[in-house]
Chain A
Amino acid sequence: MSGENRRREPRRLIGSSEAMMPAGALMTREQCEALVKKIVSFSKADEISVNVNSGYQTDVRFAANQMSTSGAIMTGGIGVQSTIGKKHAVATTNDLSDESLRATVQKSEELARLSPDDPENMPGLPLQTYLPVNGYFESTANLTPDARAQAALTALAPARKAGDLTAAGFIQVNANAGALGNSKGLFAYNRSTNTNYTLTVRTTDGTGSGWAAAEHPDWTKINFAEVADRAITKARLSRNPVAIEPGRYTVILEPQAVGDLVQLIGGSLGARQADEGRSAFAKQGGGNKIGEKIVDERVTIFSDPQDPQLLGQPFDGQGLPLARQVWVEKGVLKQLFYSRFWAQKQGKPVTGGPSTIKMEGGTTSLEDMIKSTERGILVTRLWYLRPVDPRTILFTGLTRDGTFLVENGKISKSVKNFRFNESPLFLLNNLQAMGPPVRLAGTEQGGPIVMPPIKAKDFNFTSLSDAV
């Protein structure tokens, strides 16, 4: 199914309208603003902050060439934080009747009164200005169940027809609208959509597995047939893997594999952790490593809600405006994440807590990386990454769904999966080449992530896995 065809598909307004997004499922800016004002008017605390969320999430799941579970979920609710002096507490509800809202405000006030003082409590923010971001697409918000089932068929049909393949996939389509506000006049509203598609095709002999995926806020930008082609090709190519010795290898990591490891730097970017001496960016003797070169000079990592590949929310969970924020520039640690409290204490500007991350790429295509490699490992993606040593951001994990030996500029054979023990910092110090960055769909932690494919030397594979 091509994008062109999908765009021409008539919207079914009659017949199955009950299975499309129900009217009022997403709250408008005006509705959110009125709700925040109402909740603030119920408050007797020194301060109150309010979070409003509404969403409609639909999904189709298939596996073993069968349809599995599929659903539509209408959610939404509010959370309030009341602050009395230096005491604060949160309470939430999804019953938006006046009676329930009052009760929830009262509950947060009661909890706050009983809580010990929080010496780090920060006053609520006044009204802020945010960058415009349009991450909301009608094409995504107004899908029918038929459209989702048809999309699933783009993988199920060829897999069933082939006879030697089984497909397992998941299509998740979300529309969300939410707002933040407080008694100091803060108000922030954002509306967004997303389509996430992941597909695993396995060969029925149990020796091959291929994974492919796509993600975009706009449903019409997902090329379902192309994803199926990629997963099927990879499944067939990965058949009958051979065992090769674990050890240090040159690796060509597809963007997903890069993102699986590199996004984990985010967990160590807190300035406070570093200043307190318990992160990879703590400096021996005190302080942090801002200004020091930490990785190869070609590496730049940033957050930017307006980047067309990211389209993130332009404010964080506290209402702080988010703009382009460079964390690593040309290999140098430029910035760490400063919460409002820590920024004030250290006399630094606050950064906000972004939900997007992008690593700039280069111009070397994946094909050229393969061509230039005498002996190396091509990796589709990584799996089950868990921290091993926070002092170096060392993680362990495994390769999955398409791992290949490259010899003399060509993919020579499918190889068994490896366990690795590796740090994104070590990886990015051993960089050899980068390609154009793409938006990832397989992130375990969520949030828009854009990463390039890379080639690096001396990747540390420590053992073999029999898993296909």
Chain B
Amino acid sequence: MAAAALAAAGAFNPAEAMSGLISVPHGADAMPAEDTVKELMAVAINTARSAGASYSDVRIGRYRNSIVFTRERQIVQTADTDSIGAGIRALVDGTWGFGATKVLTKDGVAAAAREAVAIAKANRIARDQPVVLAPTQAYPNATWKSAFKIDPFTIPIEERADLLLKANAEAMKVKGVRFVNSGLLFIKEDRSFASTEGSVIQQTIVRTAVPFNITAVAPDNSDFQSRTNVVAPAGRGWEYVLEQDLVGNAAKWAGEAVEKLGAKSVDVGRYDLVLHPTHLWLTIHESIAHPTELDRAMGYEANYAGTSFVAPPRDVLGKLKYGPSFMNIQGDRSQPGACATIGYDDEGVKPEEFMIIKDGVVNDYQTTREQANWIKWWYDSKGRPTRSHGCSNADNWSSVQFQRMPNVSLLPGEKDISWDDIISATDRGIAIVGDGSFSIDQQRYNAQFGGQVFYEIKGGKIVGMLKDVAYQMRTPDFWNSMDMIGGKSSYFLGGAFNDGKGQPGQSNAVSHGCVPSRFRNINVINTGRKA
């Protein structure tokens, strides 16, 4: 069933949004026993090999979601979804095929493996260059578990609902607040992987999101303002929810929504921007992390997500000055609690930390096994091995794995500068907290970002709240205007669960660490247009 174009769900009505959830096909009640999974995986890759595949891998996965959504004083929906199945990839004469099935029997996975091979064979008539995989080590008996302490799936629904309703009540006590939508979304993935190169890997991943949206409405309905995105999603468990102190913080967030109603509408012009890490992570995501995906740079996303201005690799690696010399951007899947953190990627590669931008200059791309060979010349010239950075990922057993974003983070500066230090050092500017509206072109040049809360800075002090603020930027100009950067103690992990890419579209969870930073002379527009 197609997603409702007109179902009027929107951000304001999770009840109606969630009515679609029941139509999503999901899986069985329990993953087959470990030995059964290994046996099925062996059947899949052996069948693919017998049918003519030079390489094959299989992922058998169980993907569970558990959600509670509330509004104001009531529950909206609770749901547990469970999806299990197998996805098999086959390489025949350098051409890919993929087959996925929910039928977890030997016959079922064998049929999907044969289908993957049949598709690969059919596609040979349209092949140009064969796919060649960079080498990786085999991990014949590997396991990994993400950094959660308390499995959120063990927390009773009533306890989750109670926490949300208490937080809602605190927000509703604030005069002017009329609506609160809140929720808890937990994800648990049991992923098994095997390849014809000898890897057999089992991993468990837990992630947590806490959507929270408070809306204040003017008494005469002439204006409404929201405060949302108050808690970053994380690769952690129930302990992360408790650390957020939703009940204790709700009134503060609610107060910000109300204050926005009376905030001054911004005067357009150029300002120095002081960006809080709860905001800056999204700017990094859009304007650095996406354009340094190698498949984008090589045109493989041209028909959907787009290409990249960080291209072609020969013109930019070691040459393109992205920002100031103190700008260092790291790719990794290793930060504990980050959303893209994992032990082994979806083609069995153990990810490594790598510097995408080093001392302000483009130094590397995000890669998979297929892609690493595309820039072998660069690694050779630097005496570095040509291997995947471990960025292969699929969002479900039914999706084919491809290059997805690791955690991409702005490393702290050497001096221990804080948010307050940067405000104090700014004469005329706007401080932006929280992520809001975001839009960027298909090569990642021109972007426009809103935010959650905006403060006017005059003479080193915050003098009041602003609204209707958005800034427009050209990526290389923007990052080269960065002149102050926070230190280690101001580091924060922001992120998202729903980064879209690929055809068919897939969703990726990713975190971005960063520090408060200042950008000089940025174009600010007023978005409060009436006609």
Contacts and interface: CB of A to CB of B under 8 A. Distances in A.
A73 B302 contact: no
Given A276-B178, A447-B5, A67 B127 contact: yes
A396 B16 contact: no
Given A384-B440, A385-B439, A63 B302 contact: yes
Given A79-B23, A356-B6, A389 B468 contact: yes
Interface stretch (B100-108, B238-246, B511-519): B100-108
B122 A156 contact: no
Nearest to A115: B78
Contact of A120 (B15, B20, B530): B15
A120 B118 CA distance: 51
B443 interface: yes
A30 interface: no
A61 B127 CA distance: 12
Contacts of A60: 123
Given A62-B126, A90-B78, A355 B21 contact: no
Contacts of A68: 96, 300
B224 A397 contact: no
B158 A116 contact: yes
B1 A178 contact: yes
A79 B65 CA distance: 13
Contact of A282 (B8, B20, B221, B398): B221
Contact of A270 (B16, B83, B125): B16
Contact of B128 (A65, A89, A285): A65
Contacts of B123: 60, 67, 70, 145, 149, 152
Contacts of A117: 74-75
A423 B531 CA distance: 9
Interface in A103-146: 103-104, 107-108, 111-112, 114-120, 144-146
Contact of A396 (B1, B22, B448): B448
A91 B82 contact: yes
Interface string B7-18: 111101101100
Contacts of A67: 95-96, 123, 126-128
Interface in B65-105: 68, 74-85, 95-103
Given A166-B302, A419-B448, A53 B25 contact: yes
Interface in A134-170: 144-146, 148-150, 152-153, 156, 160, 166, 168-170
A217 B95 CA distance: 28
Contacts of B126: 62, 67, 149, 152-153, 156
Interface in A269-305: 269-270, 272-273, 276-279, 282-286, 303
Contacts of B423: none
A81 interface: yes
B115 A53 contact: no
Interface string A382-404: 01111111111010111010000
B298 A64 contact: yes
Contacts of B438: 386
A352 B161 CA distance: 28
A57 B504 CA distance: 10
Q: Which of B78, B103, B125, B474 has the most CB of A within 10 A?
A: B78
A417 interface: yes
Interface string A182-203: 0000000010001000111010
A115 B103 CA distance: 32
A93 interface: yes
Contacts of A64: 298-300, 302
B43 to A, nearest CB: 16
Contacts of A397: 439
A317 interface: yes
Interface residues of A, number: 147
Interface string B314-331: 000000000000000000
B303 interface: yes
Interface in B447-488: 448, 450, 468, 470, 472, 474
Interface stretch (B333-341, B357-365, B521-529): B521-529
Given A100-B29, A392-B529, A396-B448, A353 B125 contact: no
A242 interface: no
A182 to B, nearest CB: 11
Q: Which of B1, B12, B178 has the most CB of A within 10 A?
A: B1
Interface string B249-265: 00000000000000000
Interface in A49-77: 49, 51, 53-55, 57, 59-77
A51 B23 contact: yes
Contacts of B402: 69
Given A72-B119, A111-B157, A79 B21 contact: yes
Contact of A70 (B78, B98, B220): B98
A467 B439 contact: no
A178 B26 CA distance: 13
Contacts of B299: 63-64, 166, 168, 202
A266 B23 contact: no
B112 interface: yes
Given A388-B527, A467-B306, A77 B83 contact: yes
Interface in B1-51: 1-10, 12-13, 15-16, 19-29
B77 A90 contact: yes
B12 A95 contact: no
B400 interface: yes
B324 to A, nearest CB: 21
Nearest to B398: A73
Given A91-B80, A107-B80, A419 B224 contact: no
B22 A150 contact: no
A2 interface: no
Given A77-B102, A92-B22, A199-B303, A355 B82 contact: no
Q: Which of B7, B16, B25, B303 has the most CB of A within 10 A?
A: B303
A21 to B, nearest CB: 10
A355 B441 contact: no
A240 interface: no
A391 B225 CA distance: 9
Contact of B441 (A91, A200, A303, A383): A383
A62 to B, nearest CB: 7
A76 B25 contact: yes
B217 interface: yes
B271 interface: no
Contacts of A243: none
B334 to A, nearest CB: 27
8 contacts: A19-B118, A93-B28, A145-B118, A270-B12, A285-B220, A317-B19, A356-B5, A388-B470
Interface of A: 16, 18-19, 22, 49, 51, 53-55, 57, 59-81, 88-95, 100, 103-104, 107-108, 111-112, 114-120, 144-146, 148-150, 152-153, 156, 160, 166, 168-170, 172, 176, 178, 190, 194, 198-200, 202, 209, 211, 263, 266-270, 272-273, 276-279, 282-286, 303, 312-313, 316-318, 327, 336-337, 339, 341, 353-357, 383-392, 394, 396-398, 400, 417, 419, 421, 423, 426, 443, 445-449, 460, 462-468
Given A398-B446, A400-B442, 10 more contacts: A63-B302, A73-B99, A88-B77, A266-B5, A267-B10, A270-B13, A272-B12, A336-B8, A354-B6, A396-B470
